[in-house]
Structures are given as C-alpha cells and as structure tokens.
Amino acid sequence: MSLKIDQDHSRFRHIVKGKVRENLKKYVSNGELIGRKGKDIVTIPLPQIDIPRFRYGEKQQGGVGQGDGKPGDPVGGDPGDQPGQGKKAGEGGGEHSLDVDLTLDELADILSEELALPDIEDKGKSKIISAKDRYTGIRRVGPESLRHFRRTYREALKRQISVGSYDPSRPVVVPVPDDRRFRSWKTEPEPVANAVIIYMMDVSGSMGDEQKEIVRIESFWLDTWLKRQYKGIESRYIIHDANAKEVDEHTFFHTRESGGTMISSAYKVCADMIEANYPPSEWNIYPFHFSDGDNWSMDDTLQSVDILKKRILPYVNMFAYGQVDSPYGSGQFIKDLREQFKADDRVVLSEIRDRDAIMQSIKDFLGKGK
Amino acid sequence: MNEFALKTQLPSYLRTEQDRIRKVAEEYGLDFFPTVFEMLSYDQMNEIAAYGGFPNRYPHWRFGMEYEHLAKSYEYGLSKIYEMVINNNPSVAYLLEGNSLTDQRMVMAHVYGHVDFFKNNFCFRTTDLDQGGKTVDPAQRPATYDPNRRWIDKMANHGTRIRRHASRWGTTKVGEFIDHCLSLENLVDPHAAFRGKGPKEVAAEDEENPETMDVPRLKSKDYMESFINPQEYLDEQRRKIVAEREKSKKFPRERERDVLGFLLEHAPLERWERDCLEVIREEALYFLPQMQTKIMNEGWATYWHSRLLTERILDASEIIDYADNAAGVLATSGGRLNPYKLGVELLRDVEERWDKGQFGKEWEDCDDLDAKRNWNLRLGLGRKKIFEVRSLYNDLTFLDEFLTPEFCARHKLFAIQWSNKADRFEIETREFKKVKEKLLFQLTNSGNPFIFVDDANHENRGELRLVHEHDGLDLKVDYAREVLRSLQRIWKRPVLIRTVVDHKPTILRYDGREHAQAAAPAESKEKGK
C-alpha cells in the first residue's frame, strides 16, 4: 500500500540531502553521528530540521525534573523539552535526536544499514570459526541452572491469581513445574580473526581542534564497525609532526604540536610496527592516516609513497587516508596519493570537509568490504 | 476518508469490548463525545501520527520528518505508539493492530478519559467551529452540548486549499512561504476566543489645523479672559491635543499579542499567501489547548484507565500484564518529568485532600504536623473536586493551585539548571518555591516568550516593530534573526524587535538584505504601554 506520507517524506529526504531548498540545509542538525561510549548510550543519527521560532535559549531556562540525587548532580537528557509539550499531544516541540540505549553491536548494525556497508570479506588469513552461544529467548524446558527466576515467578503469580489461590495479605507464590521458564540460546558462528587498526594523525600546527574532533568522531565509528567484524581487535596510535611516535589513545586525541609536517616519519613508524608485531599471515591490518594534507616537501611525499609501496601495502588489508579540510593546509598530499595509486584499490582516499561529511567518508573507507 | 475507513474497522470482539468499556465509563460519570475506534497497522499508525492524528493534512516536509523519526524508532525497537485520539466531534481514536487484548482495553479506557477531557475542559472550547467569532464564556455551557468540531474535515479542506495553491504557484514557492508562516506559528493569542473582539476603533474626527483650531477655554468674563486663559495655558492645551492626536495615529493603538492575526489583517499579502497564513493560524490555535493541558489531559486519562480497568474491566489473570504496562507508562527515567505521572499523581492527591478535607483556612493555619498527617474530616468531596478541576483548569493554573510542598517532596521534584563549569545540566535545588517557580514558568504561554506587535509604522516608515516582554530570559538570537527574516517576507518592509540581550535593551532588525543589532534607545521604553 502506498502511503500519503511518502510525498512529504521524500521531500524531507531531498531537503536533508541538500537537493532542494538550499536555504533549509543550514538547519539540518545531523543528529551527530557520534555516541558516548560511557554506558553504551548512543545518539542515533536522525537528521532533523528545526523551524526557527522566537524561543528561549535552552541553557538559560533549565527546567524541572524528578528522581533521586542532590544539588549539583548531573541530569540526563534535555530539560528544554517541556512537560507541557510532547509528541503525543499532536504538534510536538523541537525534539532533536533520539537518545537511546543501544549496545555497540546494535549500533554497528544500524550503521551498516544506514550506510549500506558490506561485511568485510576475510582475506582467508584465519578461517577458524568458533561458535558462541547467545541467550536470546525463553522456553519451557531446560536445565535448572538456566531457570529464569523472574519469568517463572510471574507465571506462578498469574496462575495463582487466576485460580484464586493468591492472598495479597500473605503474598506467597509457589511455582509448580509448569510455571518454570528457562533461558534458551542460539549458537552463532563467530569468525576468530585478529585485526589491528593503526591510527596515524598529523598533529602539526595546522590541525585545529575542529579537525581533531572530526578525526575523533570518525575513528570512533571505524572502531565500532571493525570491532563488530573482528574479534580481538587491537588499536595502536601514532602521532606525527616532523617526527612520529607511538602514543596512547588519550594522548592521540589531545596532543597539539606546532612543528612542520613530515608524513614519511609516521609511515616509517607504522611499517616498523607491522614488521615487529603483526605478521600478515595472522593479522588483518588497517592503517588509517588523517592529515590536512600539507606535507613539508615533495621529497618527503615521494619518500612516503615509497614506504607505502614497499613496506606497508603488501601486508595490509587496505590503507586509508582521510584528509580533513583545514584553513591552513594546501591539501596537496591527497592529490599526490591519487596520482600514485590510481589503479591500486588497496588505497582508499577520502576528503572530509566538515562534520557532515563524516558519514560519507566512513562509507568511502568501509564500503569496499575489505 | 471513505476508503480509509473501510479498511480500518474494528473486529467484532473489540466492538463488544468498546461497548462494555463505554458503559462502565458512563456509569462513573464520564461525559464524552461519540468515539469511533479504528484499527491500524504500524505503518499506517506512523503515518497518521506524523500528521498529528489526522488522515489528511496539507503537504509539508515536516510531516515527512516526523514520519521518519517514528518509523525509525519503531524499526529500531525504541518506541511504538499505542494509542492516538483526536479532538473532534465525533472523536476518532486509533488502536494498533496486534496489541494484546489487555493493551487494547487499556487504550480504550484511556481514550474515553481523553475524550471526556476534550469535551469538558474549558480550553478546548476554542476549538468549537460553530462559535462564529462570538466570545466564549469559559465556564458556561449549554445543557445539551454538541459542538461542531469537525476538524478532520477542516484539516482535509486545508490540505486541498494548499495543494491548489501549490499546483498553481509552484510547490517550492508555496512550501517556502509555509515555512515562513510556521516560524511565526507560536505568535498567537491563546485567549483570543475568550476575550472577544476589542472595542471598535473610534472613527477619527476631522482634523483641524492645530494653529487655528479652537482650544477649549475656561469660562470667563471678557475682562478676565487674559488672566483666566492666558496664552501659555492655551498653548499648553494645544500641545496636549496634538500629542493625543499623534498617539491615536499610532497603530495598533494597544500592543497586539495576536501577531499572526495582525499580519493576516494588515500585511500586504497576495490572496494565496493570506490563505496559507490563515490555515497555519487556525491549526496553531487548534493544537494550542492540547499544549496548555498536556499534564492534566494525560493525568486525567491515566487516572480513568487505571480505575476502570482495575475496578471493573479486567479479570484477575490480566492484572499483571496490565500492571507491567502501566508501570512503563508511568516510569520516570533520567530525571525527566513524565507528564502522565505528574498529572495522575497530582489528581489523586487532590482527590485525597478533598476526601479528607485537607484544604481551606483551618488546614492552612494548622502547623501541628501530627494533626496534619492524621487529618481526616471524611468529607468525601474528592470525586466532585477532580471533575471540577478537569473542567476549569489548565496545566498552569492546576499546578499553581494544587502543587504542595508535601507533594513536591514525596515525588522528589527538583529544579534543573545549566552549569557552565561542568558543561552539563545539573540539579539546582529541591526547594519548593524554586521548583514551582520553574515549573510554572515553563508552562506560562506554553513555554513561549511573550511577543507583541508594538508599532506597525515605526519611525513613520511603515516598518513593523515587535516587542519582546523580557521576563528574565533572553531569546535565542540566531533563531530570532531567522524569524525576522520570515516576518520581513510577510510584511515586505523592514522589521525589528525590541528585546534584551545580556541585560542590555537591544533592537534586532532585518531590512530584507541584512541583519542589524543595536542598543535600543531608552526613551521608547514606555511607548505604547
């Protein structure tokens, strides 16, 4: 059955994609494609167009909430949503994005659906498939050790109430065998594969906070996706300006140097790392490099290409280079790479203009299923 | 609508249920419009919910956006819509196909609560279509009250009108104009229907040249004339008359809260534009009562479904499923206020207080906590009181009158504020006064700032000046600029708004090409008051 809403819906999609009504595009808040890893709570990317109205700034207004806690404790959500306004009443107020409980696995599913990502084809390095049990349902028979206490209790309570043997003043509930419920499981095959992601980032003076934030968001999603695909994934981090060094995750995202840029230095460290720790027969290797593309000299670029060709590409699943737009960089490096590796599909290049382009870039990187 | 109705009839076992629930509800004293239930699949439900419950609306992308959100959250298993009911006579409510019988019963009972509220709460009087512009007395109703609320037809007509304009003038052109109108949607006067039309403008008398006109003189004998009516006095009188006349030239004479209505009457609009603006204004006014009574309306419906189901409708085996579901509806999570819970608990609190006689001067003056705790005069006025409350209050007055410090403490309410230091929202305090103040502020004018048309001929240049009655909170400036842009599109001349930004009186202005922001001249503050 075709729905009346289809027309309005496709019109909305067009606006979001910027095909019509360019003037509205600026109100598209992209429900940021980023999650807070904390308690596995993530924000789902649903684009939203706000109709501007005379209204108060949210931060000034505050609101009223309900629950435990003492003054100074944080409050979840957005109190700007007033109790007086809600979707159910018809015309709701501005709801921005949906904050929901999702596990990272589910998140990766959604991501793959949104971006139509293919599953990664294993290079045939590790064909061992192990089985894993997941508890997914409830059934009436099973071993005692898997008895689901709450469901059993509930069944017993229902039965007692319906036959009238339940006495609220003496609430004793005695299950009979028929009431018992057990967890049931499904066995799912799970490929055992080892993978390492090597993140490299240019931290030279021309990379600003916004550029780093883009890298952070993007690497979060790459991590999420690859973790879904591989068990036992490792992440390594390398930062470079004119020199490169390996750092931990926190340092990676919070360092700001000011020197020049020698990309070859990072590739050298990366190649050494692969040689020392990750024999390609056992590992799926994913180097990702982010930079603003402003390399020191052509010499260094040629040297980088040389290292890539000889010491990195033969060993890795793919090499990904993401170039973020910066007001300072010339952005030359991606052009050089493009020229050098035109025919090589192990090298994936992507330009990331701004936050909105992150999704497309993830698609560039992961869309080939390598 | 016909083809639609055919597919969505209730199966006969649910019709039997409906009859039963309706009878029980009537026995409890609920008084509702006839109610039609329809059964929808989830994608139909999402579609209709996206249209705010109506099968036919005007075309607009924002319904598509709403649909996407509903559909996605359903697909991801985040939420589903159980019920929906629209304020219409007869009322129409939707059931979701595939829900359990217990759920369907709960929804039906809930719906009858809503429909009783639609029919009896004074706010909804403004949605009667047969008022014909007459002033509505909120407290009075005819004995047999059967108003015309055929909003389903009206919304469908709105759709037809706008589709016609779109096919004549272009979808994009009309769509853009509607976006502009929607930016102004909250600039209406919710009390317009109760206030009636203002006194007719007094026709201006023929103006005389102030230099030569007769100024009223005090009575005097000839020889006293120059003493009793000296030249200075006459000049003074002349100045007063001229000033008075200037003031009457000001337009509008009094600040006008119904900005949309004002634009509709006075902006230089083409016919299709005026028609679109009128549609938006009428629909905004239609949805307004639901925003004004969200807490009460949900509370009332929840109160009744819980009574009807647990006392009369359900059999014992269904109680657990029902309780499970009800717990979900009333849950609060993450410190958010749940209107269903707040509403129903406060209604129950009122019922209990009036049953026990915990009100009035004696109660207020009593400061013996123990006596208060055991206070019970056995008046049994509770039921009568909550029926009165559902007729005569909206969220704002309901909470203002019945929210007590005891209730606040029992339900752990707190005020929230933004902390710049921690970059997050935090609990500010649990102090009753503060909490109530914040709550009422949020509900005042449905959380919208107060904006008035101040002068439609600003600086004698035909510019439109609005004024924001600043009550402690600044406007979101970037949004305000965009609204000015829409306003300018409609008014066709430069527009400006007087507001306060960072404690400084400020004028935001848009002339069709660029935005300007300037300090407001202090003297004009009293102007127009």
Average pLDDT estimate for B465-478:
90
pLDDT in tens, B264-304: 999 999 999 999 999 999 999 999 999 999 999 999 999 99
Tell me which of B389, B417, B443 is where a domain ends.
B443
In contact, B505 and B519? CB cutoff 8 Å: yes
Cβ <8 Å between B337 and A64: yes
Pairing of β A194-202 and β A283-291? parallel
CB nearest to B427's CB, from A51, A61, A73: A73
Q: Give the per-residue pLDDT at B130.
A: 78
pLDDT in tens, B320-366: 888 888 887 888 766 778 889 999 999 999 999 999 999 988 888 88
Rounded Cα gap, residues A167 and A179, in angstroms: 18
Residue B335 near chain A (CB below 8 Å): yes
Q: Which of A3, A4, A173 to mutate to test the interface with B (most CBs of B within 10 A)?
A: A4
Tell me which of B384, B411, B443 is where a domain ends.
B443
> Looking at beta carbons, which residues of chain A come within 8 Å of B414?
64-67, 69, 71
Tell me which of B443, B460, B479 is where a domain ends.
B443
Pairing of β A244-247 and β A283-291? unpaired
pLDDT in tens, A91-114: 222 233 344 445 666 666 766 666
Q: Which of B42, B54, B68 to mutate to test the interface with A (most CBs of A within 10 A)?
A: B68
pLDDT, greater one: A98 or B383: B383
Cβ <8 Å between B183 and A4: no
| C-alpha count within 13 angstroms, C-beta hemisphere, residue A47 | 21
Domain presence at residue B362: yes
User: What is the distance between the terminal CA atoms of chain A, rounded to a whole angstrom?
Assistant: 38
Domain presence at residue B416: yes
Residue B470 is part of which domain span? 449-525
Alpha helices, DSSP H, located in B250-377: 259-266, 271-292, 294-308, 319-330, 339-356, 360-365, 369-373
Name the range with the highest mean pLDDT among A95-104, B130-139, B390-399: B390-399
Cβ <8 Å between B290 and A90: yes
Among the listed residues A265, A266, A261, the one whose alpha carbon sits nearest the alpha carbon of residue A326: A261
Identify the three-state secondary structure at position B413: strand
Same domain, B478 and B400: no
Q: Give the per-residue pLDDT at A94.
A: 29
Domain containing B484 — which CATH number? 3.30.1300
CB nearest to A89's CB, from B47, B183, B294: B294
Tokens representing residue B32 in the block: 């509702």
Question: For residue A169, what are the contacts with CB-CB under 8 A and spacing of at least 6?
Answer: none
In contact, A77 and B335? CB cutoff 8 Å: yes
Q: Give the per-residue pLDDT at A21.
A: 53
Cβ <8 Å between A76 and B418: no
> Looking at beta carbons, which residues of chain B come within 8 Å of A13?
64, 68
Rounded Cα gap, residues A306 and A300, in angstroms: 10
In chain A, where does the domain assigned CATH 3.40.50.410 lie? 192-366
User: What is the distance between the terminal CA atoms of chain B, rounded to a whole angstrom?
Assistant: 50
For helices B271-292 and B171-183, give the axis angle rounded to 10 degrees.
40
Cβ <8 Å between B76 and A9: no
Same domain, B502 and B425: no
CB nearest to B447's CB, from A66, A85, A164: A85
Average pLDDT estimate for B59-83:
81
Per-chain mean pLDDT for chain B: 87
Domain presence at residue B402: yes
Residue B527: count other Cβ atoms within 10 Å of its Cβ.
14
Token pair 């309570």 is found at: A157
Tokens representing residue A208 in the block: 């600003």
pLDDT in tens, B225-253: 888 888 888 888 888 887 777 766 778 87
Q: Give the per-residue pLDDT at A20.
A: 53
Same domain, B420 and B504: no
> Looking at beta carbons, which residues of chain A come within 8 Å of B62?
8, 12, 49, 51
CB nearest to A8's CB, from B63, B298, B413: B63
Q: Which of A30, A41, A53 to mutate to test the interface with B (most CBs of B within 10 A)?
A: A53
Rounded Cα gap, residues A98 and B346, in angstroms: 29
Q: What is the ipTM of this complex?
A: 0.82
Same domain, B342 and B392: yes
Which of residues 344 through 373 in chain B touch A, CB cutoff 8 A?
Answer: none
Q: Give the per-residue pLDDT at B400.
A: 95
- For B337, the closest chain A residue by CA position comes to A65
Residue B298 near chain A (CB below 8 Å): yes
Q: Give the per-residue pLDDT at B24.
A: 95
Rounded Cα gap, residues B506 and B39, in angstroms: 54
Question: For residue A164, what are the contacts with CB-CB under 8 A and spacing of at least 6?
Answer: B316
Same domain, B467 and B487: yes
pLDDT in tens, A184-196: 888 776 666 678 8
CA distances from B110 to B122, B124, B340 (A): 20, 18, 11
- For B59, the closest chain A residue by CA position comes to A8
Rounded Cα gap, residues B281 and A91, in angstroms: 13
Residue B428 near chain A (CB below 8 Å): yes
Cβ <8 Å between B67 and A8: yes
Same domain, B369 and B418: yes
Tokens representing residue A225 in the block: 């996706």
In contact, A54 and A102? CB cutoff 8 Å: no
DSSP states along A43-57: EE---EEPPP-S-B-
Identify the three-state secondary structure at position A290: strand
Same domain, B419 and B488: no
Q: Give the per-residue pLDDT at B305.
A: 94
Same domain, B429 and B480: no
Q: Among A257-261, B124-128, B201-205, B417-421, which stretch is predicted with the lowest mean pLDDT? A: B201-205
Rounded Cα gap, residues B150 and B160, in angstroms: 16
* Segments of chain A scoring below 50 in pLDDT: 1, 25, 30-40, 78-101, 127
CA distances from B126 to B153, B289, B290, B407 (A): 17, 8, 11, 32
Counted domains in chain B: 2
In contact, B2 and B58? CB cutoff 8 Å: no
Query: Mind telling me how many Å the CA of B261 is from chain A's nearest CA?
Result: 17
Q: Give the per-residue pLDDT at A254.
A: 75
Among the listed residues B173, B86, B123, B337, the one whose alpha carbon sits nearest the alpha carbon of residue A90: B86
Same domain, B340 and B437: yes
Question: For residue B514, what are the contacts with CB-CB under 8 A and spacing of at least 6?
Answer: none
In contact, B134 and B147? CB cutoff 8 Å: no
**Which CATH code, of 3.40.710.10, 3.30.70.580, 3.40.50.410, 3.40.50.970, is assigned to A192-366?**
3.40.50.410
Average pLDDT estimate for B8-24:
91
DSSP states along B20-66: HHHHHHHHTT-----EEEEEE-HHHHHHHHHTTT-S-----HHHHHH
Tokens representing residue B426 in the block: 């935090």
Q: Give the per-residue pLDDT at B211.
A: 66
Confidence of residue B221 (pLDDT cuts 50, 70, 90): confident
Same domain, B485 and B431: no
Query: Mind telling me how many Å the CA of A174 is from chain B's nearest CA?
Result: 16
pLDDT, greater one: B492 or A358: B492
Token pair 């004549």 is found at: B168
Question: Does B79 score more than 80 pLDDT?
Answer: no
